[in-house]
Structure formats: C-alpha cells, structure tokens
Chains A and B, each alone.
Chain A
Amino acid sequence: MTAITTNTVPRRDVDPAAPKKRKKNDSRAALGFLTPSAVGMTVFILLPTILAIATSFFNWPTFGEISFAGLDNYRNLFAPGSQFTAALINTVVFTLLIVPINLVLTLSTAFWVASSRFSRLYRVLFFLPVVTPTVATAVIWKLIYQPNGIVDSTMNSLFGIHLPNLLGDSSTALIAVVVVIVWQGFGYNMLIFSAAIDQLPQDIIDASKLDGAHGLTQLMRIKIPLLTPAIFFATTVTMISAFQLFSEPFVMTAGGPGTSTVTVVMNVYQTAFQDGELGAAAAPAIILFVLILIVTLIQWIGQKKWVHYD
C-alpha cells in the first residue's frame, strides 16, 4: 500500500488530456482511480485491523485493567476446556461442504434458469431467501427440522418412519445447518453467474456454433471457460464467507449439540461480546485470518492454470 500512496503525483496527471503516445504503463492513472478507495480502506479497514491484531497480544477486558499478555491469548486457545480446536475443525468442514455444494448447484441452476421462458421471474424468486431476515429463516427451518416438524411428519405419513432430531443430534446437526446456508445464500452466486452468462460474448458463441460445438460440448469447452473469472470470484468469496460462518449456526444450533456446530467466528463473537475479553477474542480471529489468507493465496496462484482472462 505504501509503495503507491506515498508517491506524490500532481493531480492533473491523474486525468491527463489526451496524451499523444500510449505506454503500456498506466500507473499514474491507476493511482488516481485508486485513491478514493485506498484512502477509505486505510482509515476504515486497515487501521481497525492493525488495532485488532495488536489487541490479541493483550489481556484486554471490556472494563478493567489492560495488560500485556504476550502469546497467552494464543496459548489459551489450546488449553483444556477451550472450544477453539473443535471450532477450527468444524469451520474447515463447513467450508469444505458449503463451497462445492453451493458452486455446483448455483452454476448449474443459473444455466438451467437461463434456458427457461420464465428466467426473469425465477432469478428474482431464487433471490428471496437472501433478502429474508435470518431470524425468520431460522424459525421456519427449525419447524421444518424438529421432531414432529414438517419433514418428520411428512416422512412419517408417507413412509411411516421417524427421523432423528436433525438439529439436536450431533451426527446430523452440521449437515442440517449446511442445507440452510446453501439455501439461504443461493441467490448471491446465482446472481453472479446469471449476470456472467448474460455477458458471454455472443460472437464467440456464434463462432463456436459454426464450428459445430453444441450442447454439452459447447457448455464445457466454450461457456464454462468464459465464465471462469466469475467462477473464481464466486469461489473466493463463498470460501471467505464460509470460513467466517457465524450467524446461521448461531441462531439454528448455538454451536450445539456439544461442540458439533461451534465455529471460529462464533467463538470470536462470544468471547468479545459475551465474555468481554477483547484480547482473547482477537487471537482466534487472527489465526483464522492467516488460514484464509493461505488458502486464498494458493487459489490466487493456482488461478493462472484455470481462469481464462481475455
């Protein structure tokens, strides 16, 4: 960040009046276009982030004495009685389930809907769960899941079998939450993929048709590669949000039964706002940050292999 922002560039260079020669280097213009975002980000994101990182090395109660703690907050995460290890494992499992399920379903549904006569209507309808308040969603899904609830009584009247208590049983609770999350977040990636499908360059599609590419071949060889920037975006964002999963399991299962649906950010939230330990809350967040960063880095480097930019 410093490398760019400390460059002092006269303002007029930002918006130069029709230069005669074009160079491959637009760094001055780039700086100009970047400035509003970079300034805002420095003040509102970077500054609090640095503060948050710093607090993780302190014993920092919401009220009372603040003292330097060194690595204690990190060490305590692995002390007996701490839920951090369980939370970290759950978070990784959640992410490994949510990301592929979400992407495969939303991408295929986006294509399916695009082929429909009612695509406009369907796109709006698939978006409805996104705009429904989580508190209402949680109530309804609990009624769907609970014993004698909608799924259970339907199964019972159709097949005469009773399901386990889906949210209260440690073997099914995590999967049950994953279903709700995929359902609720469906509209976001649908939106991305639908917009990307709309922007597919028609001349290339037409050319491929002339070359005899149709149906599945056309989809796999032409369309999907053209969509890879959108897919890369959706993967990255879905992954980051899955790693930061909190409110859905919080309202659906509160981390239970046992520790089977506890997540890292749930841990962060409760430590900060219920236990009032800001330092201890920052430590797991920093570990999570490093984890996400590593995974994103791998993706970022790996994208050259599969993401097709023009």
Chain B
Amino acid sequence: MKLAKKLTAIALGGALVLGASACGASTPSGGGEGAAAGNVTLDWSFWAQGDEGNKTWKDLASQVTAKYPNITINLTTAPFADYFTKLQSQLASGTAPCIVSMQSLRLPAFAKAMTPIDGDLAKAAGFTESEWDGGALKALQNGDKQYALPYGLSTMLMYYNKDAFKAAGVDEPKDGWTTDEFVSAAEKITKATGKPAFGQTFSDLHMSAQLLAYNGAKPVSDSGELQMTDPAFESAFTWYTGLATDKKISSIPASSADVPWGEQQFVAGNVAMAVDGSWNVKSNVTDAAGFKVGVVTLPQGPDGAGTFSANSGFGISSTCKSKTEAAQAIGVLTDATSQMASANSGNQPARTAAIPAFIDGLKKDIDPKNPGYSEQVAAVTKASSAKAVPFISTSNWDKVTKLMAQQFQQAYSGKSSPQDALKNVQQSGAK
C-alpha cells in the first residue's frame, strides 16, 4: 500500500509536470509554443473528413496565417468514430491541442477541459452574436457560457422514400404534418409492402427528437440531469416502442450495436421513413439504394415541441498557452468565407448569410438526379430551425447512450416493458 502510494505520487507528479509543460515551449507536440516570441504554432485537432474535406479545412487553416502571419495552424485529424476517445487520452496526459473541435452533445463532458470564449477572447475572435443562428450558438453553450463557435448547424428531420410512398398510393408528407398522419402513412405502406415502413433507432438525437416532437418530452432536464423516468418522456417512449410492439409498423435494430439502425435501413431501402440529421442531407441521397429521397419536418403531436438541433464547432482547451491567438484563429475558421466554403460542400451553416450557398450546392449536385430536393431542403431546414431546441446532454452522455442501446433493445422487442427499460437506464446512468 505504501509502495503503491509512493509510486502513484511519483506518477501523479509526473503527470502534473508533464501536463503543465504540455502546451509550453518544451514539448514540440503540444500546442502554442513560444507565445512570448510572437510566432505561435497552434495544434488543431479535428475529425477526418475524407481527402476532399481535409483539403478544405487545411486551406482554411492557411487562411488563418494569411490574416495573422504570426500564427501557424497545425491540423491533425483522427477518424470521427474515435476522435473523442483520443481526446480523452490527450486530456488525461495534458497533451490536448490548443484548438479542439467539439460536438454539442459531448460539450457537457468536456466543458471542464475548455476555456469559454467570452470577454477578450470573444473580441479576439471577432464574435458578433447577431450574425449567427441563435440555436446554433446555444447548443455550444454550457452554463450560459459559449465554449465553442459553430461551423455548422444540424436539425433532426424525417427522410422518406418517395418511390415507396408512390407505390403504396400514399400522399407525400408535408412540413408540419402530425404524428397521426405519420402513423397512418406508415400503416398503409407497411400493409402495401409487407415490411415495416419506419426504421426505429437507438441514436440519441434521432430518437429523442421524435419524442420531443410527440409531446415535448426531453431525456435530460434543462439543468443537465438525466430524467428518463419523467412521466412525459415515459409516455412518449411508450408510444415510440409501441410502433414496433403494438402497431408493427416499425423495424427494430438487430442488436444493441446497431445504434444507427433506422438511418441505415432507410438508405438501404428496407424502410420507407427514418429520422436523420440535416448533416446527412446530401449523403442520404447519394447513398440511397436506387430510390428518390424526400425530406420533411418531424411529425408533431398535440404537445409537440419541434425538433432538436445539434452542432459542432471549435473551442479552446484550458491547457492552451496562447489563448488569444487560438481565439483569433477560431474567428477566421468560422468567419463568413469559411462557412461559405463548408456550406457549399453540404454542411448546413450556422451563419444565416451562408444558407444560400448551402442550397445552391445541393441544387447543383443533387437536384439533377433527385428533382426538387434543394427546394424541399430549403423549406424544411427553415421550418425546423425556427422551432429547433438545442439538445442538452449529461456529462456522462457516452455511458447513457450505451445503456440506452442495451436496455431499449429489450423494450423494442417487447422483452421488457418500456418503463422497466427507462428505469434501468436511469438507475445506471444517473450520477
């Protein structure tokens, strides 16, 4: 025991020393060295975007140097699926990059390791609130502080298979449709095709957004507490599981590992409708297995409250030594020109001014093979964004999503009651 303590003390000391020096001049792998000399190199970590996307972001990084010659940005990428695992280990050892890319869902878990962009830092970033979509900013706040500036905005939408609707003789849904209309459309298509028309999912945003639209239920309270057993959430979840267990109009995930089930089944042409984010507005059409894609707002119940929004942006790690320079760099990375470039390649922008670029990109790339899509997207993103609520997660959200997949599998397949499944998630997931 004594030895263990001693060793730990040594290790601890080592970790702290290393942590402190990580962003300093002594370690080349850290971010922001030699702040005093005026010239700084800032590490910026981002999830990989494929060759084309990476190039776009590298170009933007060089824009930073063009505007601030003393700043050089060193962009490193990790696969999206593992980005946050890596960030965890970097933070554990104090080697986190200066500029971190952050998703709104993960922000509560990482806020402690980040510096809010306010006061002088906000000034350095050239941040003016009015130029932004309010929801997009709010999603990247924690405790009313802005931790990252968004480069995009995503809302949850309903995608549907136009061909399947036509074949079943069902009218295509219109923005603002109701849950009753959704259920009756699904019933008709299920009857006509012999397979479930809707694809259920374990994905946090996808499922929760549909429950929010049903009766305004939220899985997490506005103060960040898990509330799976909240009566509204329980009733909405019971309705959702009932789509599979009672009405049999919904395809359920084959295993707890198939978290994005509905989205995947939709693209494969196995189900006619699924909820997915506006970040897939382009890829859902290009990947669709030989059918035409339509998109519409989430079906609303009588007490429905629109849809959830989520987004990603860039923030500053708390170990960064050159915070001002980092803020300046983030200002460039999220400025109007940057968002135009990113919007044109299919990211729904967080700056209102860049929306036409987003729609024009779709008109050029998608409309030729999926006619009328860009108009539909323009209408649906406008309608959704107007009623979008930022999704608030808990600081242990990864754990909660894992529990949801495990427990909801039981509920979706009727092996346990929806109430029991929620109770189990709440018990293991509440902190």
Contacts and interface: CB of A to CB of B under 8 A. Distances in A.
Co-complex (A, B): yes
Nearest to B270: A148
B5 to A, nearest CB: 8
Interface in A38-90: 50-51, 53-55, 57-58, 62-64, 66, 68, 80-83
Nearest to A57: B4
A81 B253 contact: no
Interface in A229-269: 250-259, 262
Contacts of A63: 91-92, 112-113
B66 interface: no
A81 B427 CA distance: 6
Interface string A97-140: 00000000000000000000000000000000000000000100
A276 B409 contact: no
Given A64-B112, A257-B256, A165 B413 contact: yes
A58 B8 contact: yes
How many B residues touch the partner, as a band? 35 or more
B85 interface: yes
B406 A256 contact: yes
Contacts of B399: 270, 274-275
Given A82-B428, A273-B88, A257 B109 contact: no
Contacts of B405: 254, 256
B92 A173 contact: no
B417 to A, nearest CB: 13
Given A62-B92, A142-B255, A145-B254, A168 B409 contact: yes
A167 interface: yes
Contacts of A275: 396, 398-399
Contacts of B112: 63-64
Contacts, number: 124
A168 B252 contact: yes
B255 A273 contact: no
B141 interface: no
A64 B94 CA distance: 11
Contact of A57 (B8, B255, B410, B413): B8
A225 interface: no
A18 B92 CA distance: 54
Nearest to B1: A57
Nearest to A56: B4
Contacts of A253: 255-257
Interface residues of A, number: 46
A251 B254 CA distance: 12
A62 B88 contact: yes
Interface in A167-195: 167-170, 173
B255 A256 contact: yes
B418 to A, nearest CB: 14
B259 interface: yes
Given A54-B11, A57-B4, A165 B254 contact: yes
Contacts of A58: 8
A216 B12 CA distance: 61
B248 interface: no
Contacts of A32: none
Nearest to A66: B12
Contacts of B85: 273-274
Interface in B1-30: 4-5, 7-8, 11-12
B254 A250 contact: no
Contacts of B41: none
B409 A252 contact: no
A53 B3 CA distance: 11
B323 to A, nearest CB: 17
Interface string A133-159: 000001000100111010000000000
B256 A146 contact: no
Interface of A: 50-51, 53-55, 57-58, 62-64, 66, 68, 80-83, 138, 142, 145-147, 149, 165, 167-170, 173, 250-259, 262, 270, 272-276, 278
16 contacts: A51-B11, A81-B427, A81-B428, A142-B255, A165-B255, A169-B413, A169-B415, A253-B255, A254-B255, A256-B407, A257-B409, A257-B415, A258-B409, A270-B398, A274-B399, A274-B402
Sorted nearest first, the 9 A-B pairs with minimum C-beta distance are A256-B256, A256-B406, A167-B255, A274-B398, A146-B254, A257-B409, A54-B8, A254-B257, A62-B92
Given A54-B7, A165-B255, A256-B405, 18 more contacts: A54-B4, A54-B5, A57-B4, A58-B8, A63-B112, A142-B257, A146-B255, A165-B413, A168-B256, A252-B257, A253-B256, A257-B406, A257-B415, A258-B410, A270-B398, A273-B85, A274-B402, A275-B396
Interface of B: 4-5, 7-8, 11-12, 85, 88-89, 91-92, 109, 112-113, 252-259, 396, 398-399, 402, 405-407, 409-410, 413, 415-416, 424, 427-428, 430
